[in-house]
């Protein structure tokens, strides 16, 4: 089973700041890494797939990078609606499909 | 509009059974691998199970293997999760999720339902 470790657990930032979220895999997942955003009481929303491809309708301020075991989700300038929990997920080796534990981006 | 609507969540006693449903609309259901993902209160996401488009291939997390059964009725555009021998740790919001591409095993979930709540408690 591939374990995904996200850091930090919580990121406290102000609107307009840059957010950098990390996801590290226990073994290489090539570029088969996905990012989701989840707001309280809502289902997750697809943001980025295959490390760097933005999903339909996702603003350009969201970008993904990385390959192998180290991946980054960057939000270039935080908007009020971006404060949420972000999860990474690998799709290279399943079952089981695995998710990271999440990073909460909160308002400072 | 592509839509997934889960139902069937309830309060059930430990050892009990429950069947969840996920009704779909707006896409060719039979062409898509469909999945169940759960989220325990205050916790992260956990993939539970998946079913290929024709239902011939099913996939499970070890935590539910032998207790949960995924199935689908393509004539009704509906995915099911039959849960038995339920435990307290199965308590969660259960989401169904559609993969991004038809006739594909690419596990990227582009559409999610709103979830249905399962509580296992005496």
In the prediction, which pLDDT does B57 show? 97
In the prediction, which pLDDT does A22 show? 98
In the prediction, which pLDDT does A99 show? 98
Cα distance between residue A74 and residue A22, in whole Å:
9
Cα distance between residue B91 and residue B106, in whole Å:
28
Flag if A100 and B59 touch (Cβ within 8 Å): no
In the prediction, which pLDDT does A7 show? 96
In the prediction, which pLDDT does B27 show? 97
Cα distance between residue B20 and residue B27, in whole Å:
20
**Residue A55 has what DSSP assignment?**
P
Cα distance between residue B77 and residue A27, in whole Å:
37
In the prediction, which pLDDT does B22 show? 98
In the prediction, which pLDDT does B88 show? 98
Task: Give pLDDT < 70 ranges for chain B.
Answer: none
Task: Give pLDDT < 70 ranges for chain A.
Answer: none
In the prediction, which pLDDT does A63 show? 98
* Any B CB within 8 A of A15 CB: no
* Any A CB within 8 A of B5 CB: no
Residue of chain A with shortest Cα separation from B106: A91
* Any A CB within 8 A of B1 CB: no
């Amino acid at each position: 089973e591939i374990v995904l470790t996200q850091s930090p657990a919580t990121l406290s930032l102000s609107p307009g700041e840059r957010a950098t979220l990390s996801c590290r895999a226990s073994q290489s997942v090539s570029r088969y890494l996905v990012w989701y955003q989840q707001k309280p009481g809502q289902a997750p929303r697809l943001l980025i797939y295959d490390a760097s491809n933005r999903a339909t309708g996702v603003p350009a301020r969201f970008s993904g990078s990385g390959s192998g075991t180290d991946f980054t989700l960057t939000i270039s300038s935080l908007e009020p609606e971006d404060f949420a929990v972000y999860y990474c997920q690998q799709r290279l080796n399943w079952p089981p499909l695995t998710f990271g534990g999440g990073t909460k981006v909160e308002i400072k | 509009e592509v839509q997934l609507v889960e139902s069937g969540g309830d309060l059930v006693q430990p050892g009990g059974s429950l069947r969840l449903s996920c009704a779909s609309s707006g896409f060719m259901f039979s062409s898509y691998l469909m999945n169940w993902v759960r989220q325990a209160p205050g916790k992260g996401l956990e993939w539970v199970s998946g079913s290929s488009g024709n239902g011939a291939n099913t996939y499970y997390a070890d935590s539910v293997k032998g207790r949960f059964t995924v199935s689908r009725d393509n004539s009704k555009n509906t995915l099911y999760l039959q849960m038995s021998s339920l435990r307290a740790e199965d308590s969660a919001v259960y989401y169904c999720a559609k993969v991004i591409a038809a006739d594909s095993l690419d596990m990227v979930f582009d559409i999610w339902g709103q979830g249905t709540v399962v509580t296992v408690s005496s």
